[in-house]
Structure formats: structure tokens, C-alpha cells
Amino acid sequence: MSYDLNGRTVAVTGAGGGFGVALAEALRAEGARIALLDQDADRVHAQATRLGDTRTARGWATDVRDLHQLTTVMSEVREHFGSLDVAIAAAGVLGPVTALSATTDTDWDRVIEVNLGGVWRTFKAAAPHVTEQRGHLLAMSSMVGYIHPPMLGAYAASKAGVWALCNALRLELRTSGVTVGSVHPIIFRTPMIRDALDNPAATELVNGFSGVFQTVPLHTVVADIIRGLKQRSARVITPRRLRAAALAPGLAQALAERAYFRPTTIRHAVELGALATPRPDPAKPTA
């Protein structure tokens, strides 16, 4: 039976980024009421105005690294709209594309705190209200959560963790009527991805591992998420032809290592990364 989004209240973290904007627009087109959560208050307030009046869309300044703030905001969303049916944990950062030797503890902590910790905090803050509605929790993972490329250790670990967390919570919350899903797309172009991949090491990876680092249009990912929400799917895979990778991640990882992650290409990418001039991480948290 289809889960009708019309009239449902959906909270989206990371709503100020390119992906969050497109997802919010698609949800409004389905008739959902949207709570836009992001660190950039001006951006989500302006976006809410574009999507409708305060009865259908409203923005909140929110940092997914702050559980107290998230808890307060989710309560305000529930009070403002009268319910909270769906929470989508979409805030994320890629972090620098670099080898272990060049990864700092600051880089590591930031990616894990936003991508994995942010999902846990979002779900923890939203769960009491979503449970009232027997609703749905959804988190952005990645195909990188199944197939782990080199030089993206923190990102791969965070996205694999999101998948594992969703699997655990799905069992935990089943008896309360709440469903839990994770989204696993291949790379899709957003400003965050474009900036983060704009360095020689990342270019080497993308060119060398073309069988893994394919791209899909943003609208395809959004359409698959909407379809997954309506079906309350446990997993949303984009493109859908890669669903087998979700069923056998261990096998997919082994095949990818043998077919695409060649030692010479990896070594070259690591060398290029070591030669690159250090610069600030261009990926800004869209929490």
C-alpha cells in the first residue's frame, strides 16, 4: 500500500544544499509540508518562502552536530505543523579526497560527526514525534557504503555506518510502527561534490575507477527517493540496476577491488594527493 505524502510533515536536514533544495521541491510537489533544517538560516528561510507560506514550508537554523538544538527544533516542527511524519537525515560532507597518511584528525572527526553522528542525532530527536504518526525515518548513505574506494576512508566509514545504523534501528522500531530506510546513490553532481572532486587525486580516482565512480542526474536520485518514501522502502538504490550490490556488499567489494581498484592507479592517486598543495577543505557542512 502506498504511503501518501500529501499532507504529511517532512523534516529535511541539509535542506540548504543543492540536493536538499531539489528534494524539498519534489516533496512539496507531492503535497507534503516541509520543515527545512540547515546551518544557513537565511538560505532556508528564503527557500521556505519560495515553496509556499508558513503553513506549508518553514525554515529552521540547525546544526546536526548539536543534539540539544535538534531536539528543540524537532519539537518546534511538531508544534508548528501539528505533526511530524517523516524525518530525512540528508546533511552531509564529503571531506578531502586523500590517503590515510594525509588525513588529519580534524578531517576525520568532521566527516564522522556530520555524516554518521548527524543521522543518529536527527533520528533520536525526531523519533518520538515520528512514532506518534507511525511514520518513516530516512537517511542518506551512498553506494560507497557498500563498495569502499581508496582515499575516501572517513566518508566510506561514515556511509557504511549509516547503513548499519538504519538496519539496527529498523529492527528496533518495527514494533512501534516506524519504518526506517537508507538511500544509496552513485555520485550525483552537486556543488559540494563538484568542489570536493576538483583536485588531481580525485580526478585520477574518477578516471581510473570509471566502473564505480559513475554519475547519475540529481533528478534521478530525487525521484527514486520519492518512490522509496511512498513504498516505505528499507533501501533506495540509484541506479536501480545496482540493487544486487546492496544484497551482496561483501561480494561487490571483492569484485570492485579486483576489477577497478588496481594497485598502480591507487599508488598514482596517492602520489598526486601527496604532491597537492594543502588547502582548506572546500566542502561546507550543510547541516
Give kind and range of the element (H or E) at residue 57: strand 57-61
Give dist(CA 26, CA 45) in Å, integer: 17
Question: Would you call 55 exposed, middle or buried from its count of C-beta atoms within 10 A (0-12, 13-18, 19+)?
Answer: exposed
| Rounded distance between C-alpha atoms, residue 36 and residue 60, angstroms | 6
CA distance 266 to 271: 9
Q: How far apart are CA 147 and CA 242, in angstroms?
A: 11
Spatial separation of the C-alpha atoms in residues 223 and 131, rounded to whole Å: 25
CA distance 98 to 277: 12
- Give 184-212 as a DSSP string: EE-EE--HHHHHHT-SHHHHHHHHHTTTT
Q: Which residue has the cell 571531506?
A: 95
Match 550525483 to its residue by C-alpha cell: 188
Contact of 32 with 55, CB cutoff 8 Å? no
Instruction: Count the Cβ atoms, other than its own, within 10 Å of residue 189.
Output: 14
Catalytic residue among 3, 146, 155, 260: 155
Report residue 103 CA to chain centroid gap.
22
Radius of gyration from C-alpha coordinates of the chain: 19
Is residue 155 part of the annotated active site? The answer reads yes
Q: Which residues are catalytic?
A: 155
